[in-house]
Structure 1
């Protein structure tokens, strides 16, 4: 009897590449058609291609990949605001977490203040590494108190425990799920 080996499929790194800059996606943002781009790339694309349609002056763009027409959330929105309003692709963010123990992670909050402090925790909601002091800030501010914080030692589990907290645009008060049985759609 022949032995069969279980092959683990390799991760297709092209799935993590921005179709605009062709580099690894940085700060991934999804269009409503589910194509993902770097926030800065889609912002530049929006500013260079956004056009007003009809008498109502509604800004629209076409997805650079599938050419689906995408309408701006508001008429007076800037390209920067529009790019920021797009949902973050948390699957790509969580899978791009480098969890090699040999590399020390630095606190992202402290780095923004030009400080270098070793991170010991990971906020699953903010998607950032943080030190003990910055972790304590999450208990002071009401908007941060419900964030899920785990130890960086446990960050390997992030790949298996992906949580998405994006509100569904069709179902008020519910979060996006993998598949909507009501509409038979992703």
Structure 2
């Protein structure tokens, strides 16, 4: 018997990378994608469509194929994904799901081991173990981030 490919995919899953959203941005057609996934898609789509021609000011949604014009088309197309609004509803749903988990695991360590989370980076929307928290606080890009303790 054939199984559905959407089995196990939730509303908080990016349709491009099939992982939980990281900085979910939504298009005018209301489809949402990780900002980095959307950025990669736009770059790839415009390079393959233009074949050397410049001046494209639109792309197609990867899900419904609707033509999408970025809020400020005059900006370099490599920066279009940043212009789309953050999907605050998805961010809230992901935060709620993370808080409901009985034992929260470190998001950066998930692929490697099962390290329990001890803090939450409010700026990155990620739960972190003691080691990742320590490293995160030392990095130039994230040393000013706000952290909350897990219970």
TM-score, with structure 2 as normaliser: 0.57
1:74 aligns to what? 76
The CA deviation string for residues 104-153 of structure 1, in whole angstroms up to 9 with x for no partner, is 111112225x1220112111111111012211223312321221111233
Number of residue equivalences: 128
Question: Does the CA-based 8 Å contact 1:120-1:130 persist in structure 2?
Answer: yes
1:38 and 2:36 correspond: no
Question: Does the CA-based 8 Å contact 1:124-1:148 persist in structure 2?
Answer: yes
2:116 aligns to what? 118
Question: What are the ranges of 5 or more consecutive residues in structure 1 without an aligned counterpart?
Answer: 1-15, 154-186
1:139 aligns to what? 137
CA distance, structure 2, for counterparts of residue 152 and residue 61 of structure 1 = 42
- Indicate the SS of the match to 2:110: helix
Please provide the CA RMSD for this pair.
Answer: 4.1
1:12 aligns to what? none
Question: 1:59 deviation in Å?
Answer: 4.3
Question: Does the CA-based 8 Å contact 2:58-2:69 persist in structure 1?
Answer: yes
CA distance, structure 2, for counterparts of residue 138 and residue 148 of structure 1 = 11
The CA deviation string for residues 54-76 of structure 1, in whole angstroms up to 9 with x for no partner, is x852341255597552338425x
Higher normalized contact order (CA 8 Å, seq sep 6+, divided by chain length): 2
The CA deviation string for residues 85-116 of structure 1, in whole angstroms up to 9 with x for no partner, is 75543442232232225x3111112225x122
> Runs (4+) of structure 1 moved beyond 6 Å?
none
Evaluate the alpha carbon distance shift between residue 141 and residue 68 of structure 1 in structure 2; reply closer, same or farther with a 3 A threshold: closer
